[in-house]
Structure 1
């Protein structure tokens, strides 16, 4: 696609995320992706030692725009922000929302993509005198990252240790911390940073696929990139009683440059919802 061909993207990351999407951007858009080395941990960490200031989307945008101020507005920037939380739909299951933001200051292009998945690798294991071999196998360590946390009796996390590369290093750190802090309780947790978690890397790659589809989509009015869904309308009627349901009824595409919009009715190809999705017919 000529709009993007041979241009370079700088991924604002400290965790090797550029390696996740590099081949995809090269294949789909003939774009090069390089790392824009930034201490992104200052925006917040999954381990909780640095709290995120602002919403996921606010931090996502801030990363890219602050990088542009620092490194120059002649470049294209890509930022990423993930969030993990209990699923609001399925009890006792964790959910991951990944967001990507493409920022091209010179052309005034801002494109966001969101990917939500229930495929989350987040494990926890309380430990006492030593680290069980079975726990390490469950975590997939050292191929997958592990974080060591120390808690007070009131369950306040006061120690966070990470970046372990070997079982020996992890065990040595744990035994040392036990001696220095005998009053604490200890727990192992999955490291959710992209370079330490293969499942999260796959989620970021899937999100990048959504982003690229938006980058390829041009406005039929002005040919500006990023013509995509900006609003969803729900309320697909029940096929039995006509009551609006929570299912998607309409997608609204719009252009961020000229304001042109287009409505697509019944984007999933169905005009009526199954009665099983109706609160009236299936309360």
Structure 2
């Protein structure tokens, strides 16, 4: 499988796919993936996260001359539950040009995704550990989040201090913007989510349709009706998963793993 990356993602994607599928992931270079978008906002990403992953996979396959490709794309924002936590969502997409198939693995969770605007070194010293530094690298630029000449991949205190002094000297008002470097090789938390998304992808690819053996036989719907633990009323919680094929119309309803009864907090009768 071709993997287009310049940020070390082969270190986690390759072993996960090899362990489950027995395949080899071939790292592809010769194309600057920053052209497709950067987390430092120098180049905005065109299209959705899924579209960006699809484009990376296609470019990698074309460069390598391989019919199979895999690509990773991440996004950062607020968590979908409270909107208060920094959140990272990773997609790892697999493409089969010969069969015109596409399967996507996903993982998500809290993230190191923070910033500070500082006028003195003491403020940066206090901020850096909160950002996970030095394991999680930092980016420094003059003025604000759109300031020019970002210094990326800062992973030592010496590098950070030097970049801060340079950016402050370059700034118009003495302010320096410091943020997490969100590239995979500079962000261990994100790299772990890429690994988990790859594990999800591998499980999906290993699940084949019982009728036509197409990979990616996975959950396409859920059947509600799990009985309440307290009153026995059917809730909206799923009692079964419906697996479906990407090629044929085969469907298979399977009991959902997990608790045999629903929490009364999810019951419309007990908790209207």
Q: Please give the TM-score of this superposition, normalised by the length of structure 1.
A: 0.83
Query: What is the alpha-carbon distance in structure 1 between the residues aligned to residue 224 and residue 183 of structure 2?
Result: 34
Query: Is residue 212 of structure 2 the alignment partner of residue 222 of structure 1?
Result: yes
Query: What is the alpha-carbon distance in structure 2 between the residues aligned to residue 99 and residue 178 of structure 1?
Result: 37
**1:109 Cα offset (Å):** 3.2
Query: What is the alpha-carbon distance in structure 2 between the residues aligned to residue 269 and residue 171 of structure 1?
Result: 51
Does structure 1 retain, via aligned residues, the 8 Å contact 2:141–2:167? no
From the superposition, tell whether residues 52 and 270 of structure 1 become closer, same or farther in structure 2 (CA, over 3 Å): same
Of the three residues 74, 98, 101, the one matched with 2:90 is 98
Of the three residues 127, 135, 158, the one matched with 1:143 is 135
Instruction: List alignment gaps of at least 5 residues for structure 2.
Output: none
Count of aligned residue pairs for this structure pair: 268
* Residue in 1 that maps onto 2:100: 108
Secondary structure at the aligned position of 1:53 is classed as coil
Does structure 2 retain, via aligned residues, the 8 Å contact 1:222–1:258? yes
* Residue in 2 that maps onto 1:21: 13
Say which structure, 1 or 2, has more relative contact order (CA 8 Å, 6+ apart): 2
**1:114 Cα offset (Å):** 1.2
User: CA offsets, 1:145-197, max 9 Å, x none?
Assistant: 10113445xxx622333123533233222212222223253222111211001
Tell which deviates more after alignment, 189-198 or 173-182: 173-182
Secondary structure at the aligned position of 1:52 is classed as coil
Detail structure 1 runs of 4+ shifted over 4 Å in the superposition: 233-239, 269-272
Of the three residues 10, 21, 30, the one matched with 2:2 is 10
The within-5 A match list for 1:1-283 is: 9-37=1-29, 38-72=31-65, 74-118=66-110, 120-130=111-121, 132-151=124-143, 157-159=146-148, 160-183=150-173, 185-233=175-223, 236=226, 238=228, 240=231, 242=233, 244-245=235-236, 247-264=237-254, 266-270=255-259, 272-279=261-268, 281-283=270-272
Instruction: List alignment gaps of at least 5 residues for structure 1.
Output: 1-8
From the superposition, tell whether residues 271 and 138 of structure 1 become closer, same or farther in structure 2 (CA, over 3 Å): closer
Secondary structure at the aligned position of 1:176 is classed as helix
Q: Please give the TM-score of this superposition, normalised by the length of structure 2.
A: 0.86
Does structure 2 retain, via aligned residues, the 8 Å contact 1:111–1:214? yes
